[in-house]
Amino acid sequence: MVDGWFAGAADDFRLLGTRCAACASVFFPREDTHCRNPRCCGGDLEEVPLSRRGRVWSYTDSRYRPPSPYVSNPELPWVPYALIAVELEAERIVVLGQAAPGVTVADLTVGMEVEVVPGVLHEDAETTRTTWHWRPTGVRA
């Protein structure tokens, strides 16, 4: 997907954000030019790995095929997926992402613990586009 947004594999997989040296605000997606905090005069931005676990802040399901630039094969039937907003307590931010395959809105509750795992956004004969997914803790792929 986007270079520099995540790194690692399996149990070492992490989302990558940036932190302002002046105010300690953390950003995801990463920010590489200036501090987005309107109360901050700005400081150097450093890359930081984000927490691997967080708590479900909200969730919903995607019942329709999103428009471009979302990549999907219009020849195949649409398969709904869950979207989860996850609060990372240490960073004091909420990160949106798809649920891991097989996880539906029926499996989720607000406040439950989830972990970030590597995922596939789209795959064809030439390319695999990777992304992150959220999966309830204690559930293996």
Q: What is the DSSP letter of 65?
A: P
Sign (positive or negative) of CA dihedral 53, 54, 59, 65 = negative
Coil/strand/helix, residue 12: helix
Question: What is the pLDDT at residue 67?
Answer: 83
Question: What is the pLDDT at residue 112?
Answer: 97
Q: What is the DSSP letter of 50?
A: P
Question: What is the pLDDT at residue 126?
Answer: 87
The answer, yes or no, to whether the previous bond of 101 is cis (omega within 30 of 0) is: no
pTM beyond 0.85, yes or no:
yes
State the Rg of the chain over Cα.
Answer: 16
Q: How far apart are CA 84 and CA 60, in angstroms?
A: 7
**Residue with the two structure tokens 């708590």:** 55
Mean pLDDT, each 10-residue run in order, the chain (141 residues): 80 94 95 93 93 98 85 84 96 96 96 95 81 88 55
